[in-house]
Amino acid sequence: MTTAALSPTTLSKAALFEAQAVKTSARRNRLLSLPALIIIGIFGVLPLIIICIYSFLVAAPYGGVQWQFSTDAYLNFLFQRDIFDDTLQFTPDFLIIYLRSFLFAVVTTIICLLLGFPTAYFMATRPPAQRNWWVLLITIPFWSNLLVRTLAIMFIIRDEGLINNALLALGVIDKPITMLYTNFAIQLGLLYAFLPFMVLPLYSSLEKLDFRLVEAAYDLYATRRQVLWRVIIPLSKPGIIAGCLLVFIPALGAYVTPLILGGGVHLMIGDLIAQQFGSGRNWPLGCAQALILMAAVLVALFFYVRNTSGKVQHG
């Protein structure tokens, strides 16, 4: 009835109106994305450009840069110029710090995954009313500052700290175990700081898991271990990927934790870069180090995502 009443002119008018609506909505969408683009531009792209430019300049004696092109910052990453004869000598100091940092970040990611997965699974299998409470508990550490929490760890593990005093009082040990300012302390601090970033994406992924699939797998003769490896883990892969990225990348660039718990003795990349802008007074080197880190992370990410998403596809 209504279609019969529509004359050709009203039809074309309607079409015109629709086309206009599509055009305006597209324009509106572009307009809506503007604030985000401005923020990304000012706080993301622009600083990156500045860092990139600075890394090709010469360091001024008291910090800052001299406007003179140079690739010294990149050369200095792997080589040291001899003061007397100007030859380049291979020095792996920075490289070692980078490798150490990668190792810290990898170990942190793996242990966080091993601890976080059962935790997230436990949370996701609680009755729905209880789950939000568990999520709240996981987020409690975020309520206070990381620096304060890291200092608290320091008080727990130092020589006259909670653990050593307790062990001494119980007579388990007769002199304090040195934990503070060791690799162990840094590792502990990193685990503590980044575990929630693993648990939360894992939880959100496991919470969406259809547990009828788990039942189906049990029904088809899969043991508990097989259900885990063949059904639960493949289906929670998005959460695993997200969790690993959220732990690995910030752990790699961690600054506060290694500074406080490593006592400035055991450096990580973050501290190294900060040093160039502080006591090192070599801004171009700091910029180059930051960019090298970024490039390394991008390459690692590229391979990681390509491998893991491939696995999801092939079951």
Partner 1 sequence: MPEQPGKNAIEVRGVRKVFGTGENQVAALDTVSVSIRENEFFTLLGPSGCGKTTLLRLIAGFDFPTAGEILLHGQDIAPLPPYKRPVNTVFQSYALFPHMTVAQNIGFGLEMLGKPKAEIEARVAQMLKLVKMEALKARRTSQISGGQQQRVALARALAPQPKVLLLDEPLSALDYKLRKEMQIELKRLQNETGITFIFVTHDQEEALTMSDRIAVMSAGKILQVGTPRDIYDRPAERFVADFIGETNFLPGTVVSKQAGVATVKFASSATISAGYPEGFNPTGEVTLVVRPEHADLVSDPAKGTITGTLSNIVYFGTDTHYHVKLDGGGENFIVRHQNSRSSAVTYETGAKVGIQFEEDAARVLKD
- Applying CB under 8 A, which part among 47-55, 222-230, 245-253, 301-309 lies near partner 1? 222-230
- Applying CB under 8 A, which part among 15-23, 141-149, 172-180, 215-223 lies near partner 1? 215-223
H/E element, 59: strand 58-59
Q: DSSP H helical segments within the chain, as ranges?
A: 2-5, 8-32, 34-40, 46-54, 72-78, 93-124, 128-139, 146-157, 162-170, 183-207, 211-219, 224-227, 233-235, 237-252, 256-261, 269-277, 283-313
Among residues 217, 240, 251, 291, the one that binds partner 1 under rule CB under 8 A = 217
Q: Report in angstroms how near the CB of residue 222 gets to partner 1 at its nearest.
A: 5
Please name every residue paired with 65 in a beta bridge, in sequence order, or none if there are none: 59
Site string for partner 1, 227-266 (x = CB under 8 A): ---xx--xx-------------------------------
Cα atoms in the Cβ-side hemisphere of radius 13 Å centred on 18: 6
Q: Report in angstroms how near the CB of residue 303 gets to partner 1 at its nearest.
A: 22
Q: Taking the CB of residue 55, how many other CB atoms lie within 10 A of it?
A: 23
- Applying CB under 8 A, which part among 35-43, 50-58, 195-203, 218-226 lies near partner 1? 218-226
Q: Report in angstroms how near the CB of residue 231 gets to partner 1 at its nearest.
A: 7
Task: Determine the size of the site formed for partner 1 (CB under 8 A).
Answer: 19
According to DSSP, residue 267 is labeled: -
Q: Report in angstroms how near the CB of residue 239 gets to partner 1 at its nearest.
A: 14
Judged by beta carbon, residue 17 or residue 211, the one nearer partner 1 is 211
- Applying CB under 8 A, which part among 101-109, 145-153, 216-224, 242-250 lies near partner 1? 216-224
Q: Report in angstroms how near the CB of residue 211 gets to partner 1 at its nearest.
A: 10
Closest CA to 277 of 77, 86, 60, 69: 60
List Cβ neighbours of 26 (8 Å cut-off, separation of 6 or more).
none
Among residues 75, 107, 222, 300, the one that binds partner 1 under rule CB under 8 A = 222
Among residues 67, 83, 219, 310, the one that binds partner 1 under rule CB under 8 A = 219
Residues in the chain: 315
Judged by beta carbon, residue 216 or residue 305, the one nearer partner 1 is 216
Q: Taking the CB of residue 273, how many other CB atoms lie within 10 A of it?
A: 22
Q: Report in angstroms how near the CB of residue 309 gets to partner 1 at its nearest.
A: 12
Residues 151-180 that bind partner 1 (CB under 8 A): none
Please name every residue paired with 79 in a beta bridge, in sequence order, or none if there are none: 90
Judged by beta carbon, residue 166 or residue 312, the one nearer partner 1 is 312
How remote is the C-alpha of 282 from its chain's centroid? 26
Q: Report in angstroms how near the CB of residue 234 gets to partner 1 at its nearest.
A: 5
The pair of structure tokens assigned to 174 is 């007769």
Phi and psi at residue 89, in whole multiples of 5°? Answer: -120, 135
Instruction: Return residues touching partner 1 (CB under 8 A).
Output: 210, 212-213, 215-223, 226, 230-231, 234-235, 312, 315
